């Protein structure tokens, strides 16, 4: 297996794991507060919809769009998407933005669902179905986007789907075992790594799309990943130093530590 | 129908652009600039390095803007 295929599996795995954790939080909240059966039917419907989207768009992109155009467009989108993930992860790691809190999200979701109309005694609970369907579809759409773009650009749809499927199985298995939101998953660290990977691959492919002959061909991907990783770590260090100074000044002025 | 189109567009703009427009427009402009440099005869490695630098700068500028807001 090539190193690009391994990195594709890893990227799809990490990106999908983050999204699956968020989807599992929503499904758990619906199942626990309302009705498991309708929630699980909603999950099934969303998974089928996502599988169809990946199959149709993945094959259509690979078959009908010239590889140069494909790499430019999807590489560009990957770069944009990766940069969004990476900058947020840098700000969270640097203390300039609140970290993602699955426990708080779960509590808010439960409170919202408890305020809804009571669960019907018989038949489907459409609120459970809709909330679970929407949650899994929206979180899964991000996974589908990454899987399709990665798969189509590098002609590695199989490894990308494999990485996403492994992440899904692992997250669902852990959720069934612990039966509560997965709070201890290092979501920010994972988003940080995925952000670096998406930005690096996106830069490489979109660059190829506009006609850049990267020195060393595929090896240039490793150089881009190392470069983005080093700069992102530098960004975290700078932000930590800055937020530390701001907190010191606020304390010296007699105030509390500001929340970002 | 109009409501559906509006919510459809809103969903995709939220999905792709998010709350930081500079992270959507910036990389597109960087790619356009890189393509123009290639057309003007600049070498691939140089344009690749400039593209990398431009993307890193856009990320840094966006973080700077977000932490100031």
pLDDT at A212: 92
Instruction: Report in angstroms the alpha-carbon separations of A119 from A46, A136, B65.
Output: 21, 21, 46
Of chain B residues 33-52, which have a CB less than 8 A from chain A? 34-35, 38, 44-45, 47-48, 51-52
Residues with pLDDT less than 50, chain A: 255-260
Residues of A in contact with B21 (CB under 8 A): none
pLDDT at B32: 96
Please give, rounded to a whole number of angstroms, the shortest distance from the CA of A40 to a CA of chain B.
25
Answer yes or no: are the C-beta atoms of A195 and A86 closer than 8 Å.
yes
- pTM for the whole structure: 0.74
pLDDT at A183: 62
- Tell me the HSE value of A69 on the side-chain side, using a 13 A CA sphere: 6
- Tell me how many residue pairs between chain A and chain B have CB atoms under 8 A apart: 89
- ipTM for the assembly: 0.88
pLDDT at B63: 93
| Contact: A235, B59; criterion CB under 8 Å | yes
**pLDDT reading at B47 higher than 90:** yes
| Contact: A210, B28; criterion CB under 8 Å | no
What is the C-alpha to C-alpha distance for residues A238 and B12, in angstroms, rounded to an integer? 33
Please report, to the nearest 10 degrees, the dihedral formed by the alpha carbons of residues A161, A164, A166, A169 taken in order.
-120
B24 to chain A: closest CA residue? A80
| Contact: A80, B16; criterion CB under 8 Å | yes
**pLDDT reading at B21 higher than 90:** no
- As a whole number, the mean pLDDT across chain B is 88
Residues of B in contact with A221 (CB under 8 A): none
- Expressed in percent and rounded to 5, the helix, strand and coil fractions of chain B are 85, 0, 15
Residue B42, by phi and psi: left (phi above 0), alpha (psi -120 to 50) or beta?
Answer: beta
Residues of A in contact with B31 (CB under 8 A): 72, 76, 206, 210
């Amino acid at each position: 297996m090539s190193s690009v295929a391994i990195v594709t599996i890893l990227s799809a795995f990490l990106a999908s794991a983050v999204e699956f954790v968020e989807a599992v939080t929503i499904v758990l909240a619906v199942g626990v507060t309302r009705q498991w059966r309708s929630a699980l039917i909603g999950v099934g419907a969303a998974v089928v919809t996502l599988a169809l989207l990946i199959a149709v768009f993945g094959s259509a992109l690979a078959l009908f769009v010239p590889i140069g155009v494909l790499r430019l467009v999807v590489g560009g989108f990957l770069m944009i998407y990766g940069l969004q993930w990476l900058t947020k992860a840098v700000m969270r790691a640097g203390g300039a933005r609140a970290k993602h809190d699955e426990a708080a999200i779960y509590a808010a979701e439960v409170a919202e669902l408890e305020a809804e109309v009571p669960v019907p005694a018989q038949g489907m609970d459409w609120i459970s179905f809709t909330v679970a369907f929407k949650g899994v579809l929206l979180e899964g759409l991000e996974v589908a986007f990454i899987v399709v773009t990665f798969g189509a650009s590098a002609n590695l749809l199989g490894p990308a789907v494999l990485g996403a499927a492994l992440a899904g199985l692992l997250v669902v298995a852990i959720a069934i075992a612990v039966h509560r939101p997965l709070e201890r998953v290092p979501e920010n660290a994972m988003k940080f790594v995925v952000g670096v990977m998406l930005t690096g691959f996106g830069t490489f492919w979109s660059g190829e799309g506009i006609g850049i002959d990267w020195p060393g061909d595929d090896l240039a991907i490793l150089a881009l990943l190392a470069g983005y990783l080093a700069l992102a770590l530098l960004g975290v260090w700078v932000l930590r130093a800055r937020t530390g100074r701001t907190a010191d000044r606020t304390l010296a002025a007699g105030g509390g530590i500001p929340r970002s | 129908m109009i409501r559906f189109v509006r919510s459809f567009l809103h969903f995709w703009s939220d999905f792709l652009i998010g709350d930081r427009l500079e992270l959507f427009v910036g990389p597109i402009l960087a790619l356009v600039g890189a393509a123009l440099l290639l057309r003007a005869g600049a070498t691939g490695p140089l344009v690749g390095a400039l593209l990398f630098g431009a993307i890193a700068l856009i990320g840094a500028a966006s973080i700077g803007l977000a932490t100031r807001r």
